[in-house]
Amino acid sequence: MVHRILADAAGSLAPSQIRNALPKAYRPTEEELARRLRSMCASGAVHRWPRDRFGAKAPEDSAAGAIIGTLADRPLTSAGIARIVARKLRGIGKETVAAALKALVAEKRVLRHPPAPRGRTPRFALTAPDPADYLEPGLSRLVAHVAKKGFTPESVKMAIAR
Would you place residue 66 in the very low, low, confident or very high pLDDT band (cuts 50, 70, 90)?
very high
Distance linking the first and last C-alpha atoms of the chain: 67
Mean pLDDT of 111-117: 90
Would you place residue 138 in the very low, low, confident or very high pLDDT band (cuts 50, 70, 90)?
confident
CA distance 123 to 129: 10
Distances (CA, A) of 7 to 12, 37, 56, 151: 9, 14, 5, 63
Specify the pTM. 0.73
Mean pLDDT across the chain = 89
Would you place residue 148 in the very low, low, confident or very high pLDDT band (cuts 50, 70, 90)?
very high
pLDDT surpassing 90 at residue 8:
no
Of the chain, the percentage scoring pLDDT greater than 90 comes to 40
How high is the pLDDT of residue 125?
96
